[in-house]
Chains A and B, each alone.
Chain A
Amino acid sequence: MTRATGQAPKISLRDVGKQFTVRPSKDQPEGTTLTALEGITLDVAAGEFITLVGPSGSGKTTLLDLLAGLTRPDTGQVLVDGKEVTGPGRDRAVVFQQYALFPWRTAAANVAFGLEGPGSDGRRLSRKERTDKARHYLELVGLSGFEDRYPHELSGGMKQRVAIARSLAYEPDVLLMDEPFAALDAQTREQLQEELLRIWRSTGKTIIFITHGIDEAVYLGQRVAVLSSRPGRLKQIVDIDLGERSGDGDVRSDAVFVEHRHQVWSLLHDEVRKAQEAGHAKIRPDGSAPDEAPQLSKGQLSKGRAA
């Protein structure tokens, strides 16, 4: 809220809640409802980089789906530019953890995917304009010369770069990123974090970045929003101020960074413990959660933790 003074927020969540109906199972023949999110209120200013952390099953991905317009909230409102989100739109782009590249398209064709069909002004881009744009955005993510490679010929880090280029190519205002670097090795991840900050500074996009890495959240975000365990509520928002980060210094071992990191860690720690005790796991796309069945209790859990 503090940052939005003077101008309207880019994204505004007003008391947003989302429930899923759990399909009847052997253990629960009735079928129950599962509250994934409850009473989320959050404003994000234009050009802001906000990260979202929360324990497993706290509804991070659900929140992102709501912002993307892939699902609708049961209560409250999701506003972008003051208008309610009713479906997916070209003002928002999603970057997924598993890249979600189209394997039958080359890197350039993947980037051009969002450029096909009528644009926001109703005009169609010519083939040449599309390839030029694809080339430009591949260059922006550092993949010049890889235009004609198929996804199976690229490493994980390169695939995610292509996915980011594809999201940027149709020039959305908002980037929604769902644990985009979680599947990458530590070095590639750091490299891509660096690049993402560079792209953010040069393009001025509003970025909502979901992660389960505290370091990543503190390193990237101007603010870190901590979600509680299920049902997901906004526990606290931590303002991050790491000063100017233009140098090549090791920001992560800075005293300020460590302090912020510890603050987020403490907030998250209780929630992670609560989530573990309740045995929460990822909510599946169909709205069911494997942990909601009562049978799957202590015995199973301790086995899982021991492994």
Chain B
Amino acid sequence: MTAPTLTKDAAAPAAPAARAADAGRTAQPAGARHLPSLVRSSARRAGRGIWASGAILLFLLLWELGPTYLASPSTRVFLPPLHEVLRALGSLLAKGQLQNHLAASLTRSASGFGIAVVSAVALGLLVAWYRSLDRFLNPLLEVFRNTAALALLPVFTLLLGIGETSKISIVAYAAFFPVLLNTIAGVRTVDPLLIRAARSLGLSNFRLFQKVILPSAVPTIFTGIRMAGTSSILVLIAAEMVGAKAGLGYLIVNSQMSFLIPDMYAGILTVSLLGLLVNYLLVAVERHFSRWRTAVGSQSN
């Protein structure tokens, strides 16, 4: 992490020198004067990009070369180099298998996640608003929250079978609590002064909720939604590994058991790409809804 600051420090003394040189040649056209700084800034940006992707590239390089040159032949079987994994990924794509598994997983996680978000936000708003409901429900919610979702997987399977219902339910269960807790926290931490201000304008309880409490809680709720997105994928893959006929978790476990090791890694790679994509999307949505909360740091400029 030290490198960006180093380059910044190195560039800083150079800038006044260049400006002094420019001042000497006043006859120079205005466009040309901007050019050096433009080149410098784009070079700096490119440098930063290379540095940021360096660790990933090194890791991929190690994956490609490590098994061939460093590992023993027996290990090589269990850890094929990157190009074999990519080839397996390509053929899975060509056969349409990967799409099927991906679609199965996405349908389950999206439905479970959607159910969780809707019900958790609704319950969270109620619990945060009615103190007595909170006192009544809180102990039970604490018990459930601290029961790992995967520990309940056998229960879900026994009660709901190995079909879609059990998987969607367990995803919903895992995604429910982060959203619920953040919704409660978001509503609780609304600035009381804003409520006073809105009350002085004569707003009814409903309007107050709609126009002050909800918008003010949205960023916190979205933090919960982002956390729920991550955990819903995690739990889904685990559930698919235990009992399923399709899905990325099934692909991974099934490939391992059929000794199609490159296929297994192709599945793992897809899971991590999917996780990255989901997180990226949720972060973008979260940022969109919390624009007004932009850090105090941006103010000082």
Residues of chain A whose beta carbon lies under 8 Å from any beta carbon of chain B: 68-70, 87-90, 92-94, 96, 98, 100, 102-105, 113-114, 116-117, 150-153, 170, 285
Which residue of the partner chain B has the closest CB to A176?
B200
Taken residue by residue from 205 to 245, chain B's Cβ proximity to chain A (1 for < 8 Å, 0 otherwise) reads as: 00100011001101000000000000000000000000000
In whole angstroms, what is the CA distance A87 to B199 when docked? 9
Asked whether, in the complex, the Cβ of A102 is within 8 Å of the Cβ of B212, the reply is: yes
Say which residue of B207, B215, B291, B299 sits within 8 Å of A102 (CB atoms): B215
Most buried by A among B201, B202, B207, B211: B201
Return chain B residues, CB-CB under 8 Å to A113: 198, 201, 211
Which residue of the partner chain A has the closest CB to B197?
A100
In whole angstroms, what is the CA distance A275 to B211 when docked? 40
* Distance in Å: Cβ of B195 to nearest Cβ of chain A: 9
B34 in the interface, Cβ–Cβ < 8 Å?
no
Which residue of the partner chain A has the closest CB to B193?
A100
Size category, B interface: 20 to 34
Residues of chain B whose beta carbon lies under 8 Å from any beta carbon of chain A: 191-194, 196-203, 207, 211-212, 215-216, 218, 291-294, 296, 299
- Contact A88/B199 with A102-B215, A116-B211, A117-B207 known, Cβ cut-off 8 Å: yes
Asked whether, in the complex, the Cβ of B211 is within 8 Å of the Cβ of A152, the reply is: no
Asked whether, in the complex, the Cβ of B293 is within 8 Å of the Cβ of A89, the reply is: no
Say which residue of B192, B201, B292, B294 sits within 8 Å of A114 (CB atoms): B201
Given A89-B202, A102-B194, A104-B293, 5 further pairs, Cβ under 8 A: A69-B200, A94-B196, A96-B193, A150-B291, A170-B201
Asked whether, in the complex, the Cβ of B202 is within 8 Å of the Cβ of A153, the reply is: no
Asked whether, in the complex, the Cβ of A88 is within 8 Å of the Cβ of B202, the reply is: yes
Which residue of the partner chain B has the closest CB to A97?
B193
Return chain B residues, CB-CB under 8 Å to A69: 200
Give 25 pairs: A residue, B residue, CB < 8 Å, sorted on A: A68-B200, A70-B196, A88-B200, A88-B201, A93-B201, A100-B194, A100-B196, A102-B194, A102-B212, A102-B216, A103-B216, A103-B293, A104-B218, A113-B198, A113-B211, A114-B201, A117-B207, A150-B291, A150-B292, A150-B294, A152-B292, A152-B294, A152-B296, A152-B299, A153-B299
In whole angstroms, what is the CA distance A117 to B296 when docked? 33
Which residue of the partner chain B has the closest CB to A153?
B299
Return chain A residues, CB-CB under 8 Å to B291: 150
Which residue of the partner chain A has the closest CB to B201?
A114
Return chain B residues, CB-CB under 8 Å to A88: 199-202
Return chain B residues, CB-CB under 8 Å to A94: 196-197, 200
Return chain B residues, CB-CB under 8 Å to A92: 200
In whole angstroms, what is the CA distance A153 to B293 when docked? 11
Asked whether, in the complex, the Cβ of B200 is within 8 Å of the Cβ of A87, the reply is: no
Asked whether, in the complex, the Cβ of B215 is within 8 Å of the Cβ of A104, the reply is: yes
Asked whether, in the complex, the Cβ of B193 is within 8 Å of the Cβ of A103, the reply is: no
Return chain A residues, CB-CB under 8 Å to B299: 152-153
* Distance in Å: Cβ of A281 to nearest Cβ of chain B: 19
Asked whether, in the complex, the Cβ of B200 is within 8 Å of the Cβ of A285, the reply is: no
* Distance in Å: Cβ of A69 to nearest Cβ of chain B: 8
* Distance in Å: Cβ of A154 to nearest Cβ of chain B: 10
Which residue of the partner chain B has the closest CB to A94?
B200
Asked whether, in the complex, the Cβ of A104 is within 8 Å of the Cβ of B207, the reply is: no
Return chain B residues, CB-CB under 8 Å to A117: 203, 207
Which residue of the partner chain A has the closest CB to B204?
A117
Return chain B residues, CB-CB under 8 Å to A114: 201
Asked whether, in the complex, the Cβ of A285 is within 8 Å of the Cβ of B192, the reply is: yes
Which residue of the partner chain B has the closest CB to A150?
B292
Which residue of the partner chain A has the closest CB to B202?
A88
